[in-house]
Amino acid sequence: MRTMLLGSWFLLALIIQTQALNPDFGPWVRPTHGEPWPYPEHRRVNKAYYLLRASTFQFNVVGETCDIVTDAVERYQAIILKEAKIAKIHSQGNGKSSSGNDTSKGTLTALNIHLGEPCEKDGNHWPHLQMSESYVLSINEMSTAAKLVADSVWGILRGLETFSQLISPAGDGSNLKIKCQTIHDSPKLRHRGLLLDTSRHYLPISDILLTLDAMSYNKLNVLHWHIVDDNSFPYQSSKYPNLSAKGAYHPSMVYTLNDIQKIVDYARLRGIRVMPEFDTPGHTRSWGLAYPELLTTCYDAEGKTTGKLGPMNPINPNVYEFLRHLFAEIVQVFPDQYVHLGGDEVPFSCWMSNPEINDYMKHRNMSKNYALLEGEYIAKLLQITDSLEANTIVWQEVFDNGVKMPNNTVVHVWTGNWAKELEGATKAGHSVLLSACWYLDHVAGGGDWKKFYRCDPMAFAGASNATHLMLGGEACMWGEYVDKNNVHSRIWPRASAAAERLWSTVKSDENIAAQRLEEHSCRMNRRGIPSQPPNGPGFCLT
C-alpha cells in the first residue's frame, strides 16, 4: 500500500511538472456561455441581458408560414426546454452567478418570427444552391420580445439556430439568460457540406437522421451521400433491383426508395440538400456482382483472363444504356438539382491489359493515352445527365486528365496542391468545391480541429476574381474505419471547424475559438449528438 501511495504522489508530481512545462496539458479550456457557432457575419452585443423562462417563452410566427417553420418552432421549443433542465443542474452547488456590470432588462417573453416570402416561392420548396440563408436577429433593450426577420424560410432556420445558441444558464436554478444584441448574418459560401460514405460501412437510417440534426446545428446545408462504392451497393434501385440484392452486404443493409424519401424529407425541414454520388467508371466492383458485363475483363501478361474485373467497360454501348436508365431513376428519387458523378482514382491497368480496348483505342488514334478513353466515357455520361437536366459535379481527376466538360460542370478538389487546383479550374471557367483540407478520416490524435480551422477556402490565386465560381466545400467522412459505433464522435466537433470556415467571414482567434467550440461541443452533447471533447480535459453537463 505504501508503495502504491508513493507511486501516486510521484505521478501527481509528474503531472504538475508536465503542466508547468506544457501549457496544453494543463487545466481545461473554459467554455464560453451563449456564444454562437459558426460566428455571425456582423454582431453587436451590449452588457444588458434578459432572463428567459422556458415554460412561458413563446415563438410567435407573424408573417408567412408553412410546415418548415412549424416543424422548426416545435424543435427549438423542445431545445429551450432541455436547456432549462440543464440550467437547473448547472446551478446546483454554484449559487447565483454574478453578471458583473451587466444589467438585467427583465424577462424576454417571445421571439417574433417574420418570414417575408412564402416558403414555396416560385414553386421551389426544396433547399437549393441559390437559396437565401440571410437573417436579422434583434434582442433589443427596449422590447421584451426578440425579433427574427428573413426573406426566405431558409434564413428563418439559420436564425432560429443562432437564437438557440445565444441562451445560457442564468445561475439561479430556474431561468436562462440571453444578452441584448443585434445580428446581421449570411453565409460566406453557398455550398457547405458533409460527405457520408455508406458503402464501406452501412449506416442505419437513424444515424443518418442524427447526422442531419448535427449538420443543422452547424449551419451545414448539403449532405453529400456517397451511397455506393466498390465494397457494397446499398441503394435499392427499382429499375435494377439486383444491384442491391447481390451487391449489398446484407439484405437488411439497403436503402429503399421509402428510406431515401424519409431522409430527404427530414433534411428539407432543416434546410439541407441531399446530393447523391454514384461514382464511375472506377469504384464499381459492387456493380459487377449483379452485372459483370458492365465491367472490364482483365488479362495477364500472357493474354489470358485473370478472373478479375476492372472499371466500367467504356467501349461497351450497353453500359451507357444501363447508365441512362439508372440515372433517370436517380434524378427522380433525389430532388436536388446536382448529382455527383465521381470519376476519381480510375485504375487504368485493367483497360491496358484488355485486347479489345487496345484495339478500339488503336482504331481511334488514342495511342496509349487511357486518360482520353476515360474522357470519352465521362463525356458520354455527361451527355446522359445533361439530357436529364441534372447539374453535375466531378472529382478533380476528370479535370486534371483534360476531359472536355461543359463550363457548368463543377470540379471537386480533394488532393494535391489544392490552391493550384482551385486556381486552374476557376481559370478554365469551372465552379469549384474544396475538400482537400477537410478529410475527417485523417486523424492526427487528440483535438485536431485546429488543422481544419486553419484552412481558408478562398486562399488561392485569383480567388478575388472567382468568388462566383467558389461554391464552397465539404468535410469528408470516408467509411473505412467508421460505422454507427464511432461515426458521430469522429465527425463532431471536427467538422464544426470546417463549418465555421465555410460560413463566417470573420476568423476567430484560435484561443477564443477553442472556448467557443468547447461550449458548442457540449451543446451538441445536450442535443443528443455524441460529439467528442475538442480540447482535452473538461466536462459537459448533459
Q: Active-site positions?
A: 345
Q: Is the dihedral of CA 47, 48, 51, 57 positive or negative?
A: negative
CA angle 217, 223, 226 (to 5 degrees): 145
At 364, is the secondary structure helix, strand, or coil? coil
Phi, psi of 106 (to 5 degrees): 100, -145
Report whether 343 contacts 398 (CB < 8 A).
yes
Q: How many Å apart are CA 133 and CA 151, to the nearest integer?
A: 9
Query: Any residues with CB less than 8 A from the CB of 464 and at least 6 apart, and which?
Result: none
Q: How many H helices and E strands in the chain?
A: 16, 18
Residue of 258, 260, 206 whose CA lies nearest to 228: 260
Which helix or strand (DSSP H or E) is residue 1 part of?
none
Peptide bond into 241 cis (omega under 30): no
Q: How many Å apart are CA 55 and CA 63, to the nearest integer?
A: 24
Residue tagged 437510417 (cell numbers)? 205
311, with CB counted inside 10 A (0-12, 13-18, 19+), is buried
Q: How many Å apart are CA 455 and CA 198, to the nearest integer?
A: 26
The maximal CA–CA distance of the chain, rounded, in angstroms, is: 86
Q: How many Å apart are CA 255 and CA 251, to the nearest integer?
A: 10
Query: Any residues with CB less than 8 A from the CB of 146 and at least 6 apart, and which?
Result: 108, 110, 111, 112, 137, 138, 139, 140, 163, 178
Q: How many Å apart are CA 278 and CA 243, to the nearest integer?
A: 13
Q: Which three cell numbers stand for residue 83?
A: 436547456
Rg (CA), the chain: 26
Helices (H), 203-296: 205-217, 242-247, 257-268
Report whether 498 contacts 456 (CB < 8 A).
no
Helical pair 317-333 and 257-268, crossing angle rounded to 10 deg: 50
Q: How many CA atoms lie within 13 A of 285 on its CB side?
A: 15
Gap between the terminal Cα atoms of the chain: 37
Other CB atoms closer than 10 Å to residue 220's CB: what's the count?
28
Residue tagged 443493409 (cell numbers)? 253
Report whether 390 contacts 338 (CB < 8 A).
yes
Q: How many Å apart are CA 264 and CA 212, to the nearest integer?
A: 10
